[in-house]
Structure 1
């Protein structure tokens, strides 16, 4: 049962037994699939209209968690990849959210490359993030993995802001978002 208290003319819930009143936030790694779809559409439009892509059969296909790049040669495939990256950056999708597989020779002398979309924080990256936060040495700060996100708590809001700044400076090779701030 939730109890409420009147504080400064606002009704706020009292913490349940065992809950702490410490500020917290969540670290997640998500990609906006709509923005990726828009970037792929824009890249395909540019490839169709550009003169240097005429008669190269260059395509970009978006599936659920992968993007397939196809072109007549590995050089043209590199140009297709560059166009896709430009459009992703323009749509504010981090390039850390994509991982490229090896270029394959496909049938008919064409080249193909699979691009995987990286979403969620893997257990290895979560361990790395937790270790990094612990090594910061901010007194009273804790981090714990909750599925594909990490909950960080500290005694003061300033400590949380310091943790966020340190995480932004460090390269974890995945896109990080900070949200769900609570006082």
Structure 2
């Protein structure tokens, strides 16, 4: 009897890469002439990045610097969820950027629906913040991965534990 093959779909952020990108962005902020004597900073607090700057224009430049460093380190910008910029102490503006980890329940249901509608012979099950896809034929699993890569669910998907 053939054993079922399976893989997991997750959406995770590589935190060491995020930390490295933030350190590089902080270094660039300290060296750039247009940020001289500015109160701009980038800090990582748990799974949130706190951006602070003098005004909205400089804040948008800080966001650009952060995004460029994250892209260079291989972190997807889809994993960032931007909050509203708000006034902070000392004539500054502050913005929180949340790092999205895991697949939300609504997104999981969309992924399951896409797999069912495609008529590929695989079984999907939601397991917390990840999805397990299993099937008898590895070619069906490959087809499922190709389908999910083609679709846009608004989050970055990684395919792990292919067995």
Give the shorter-chain TM-score range.
over 0.9
Which secondary structure does the structure 2 equivalent of 1:151 belong to? Answer: strand
Aligned to 2:59: 77
Inter-partner Cα distance in structure 1 for 2:129 and 2:46: 19
- How far 1:173 moved relative to its partner? 1.2
**Could you tell me which residue of structure 2 aligns to residue 51 of structure 1?**
33
Task: Return the offset for 1:153.
Answer: 1.2
Aligned equivalent of 2:69: 87
Structure 2 equivalent of residue 180 of structure 1? 161
TM-score, normalization by structure 2: 0.96
Are 1:169 and 2:161 an aligned pair?
no
1:101 maps onto 2:55 in alignment: no
Pairs within 5 Å for 1:1-183: 21-138=3-120, 140-182=121-163
Equivalent residues, number: 163
Unaligned runs of 5+ in 1: 1-14
1:9 alignment counterpart: none
Q: For 2:92 and 2:150, how far apart are their aligned partners in 1? A: 40
**CA-based RMSD:** 1.2
Q: Alpha-carbon deviation of 1:159?
A: 1.0
For the residues of structure 2 that align with 1:41 and 1:61, how far apart are their CA atoms? 9
Report which stretch shifted further, 67-76 or 150-159.
150-159
Instruction: Give 5+ residue unaligned stretches, structure 2.
Output: none
- The 3-state SS of whatever aligns with 2:74 is coil
Larger RCO (alpha carbons 8 Å, 6+ apart): 2
Distance 2:126 2:110 in 1: 11
* TM-score, normalising length: structure 1: 0.86
Q: Which runs of 4+ in 1 moved over 4 A?
A: none
Choose 1 or 2 for highest CA Rg. 1
Deviations 1:73-93 (A, max 9, x none): 100000000000000000000
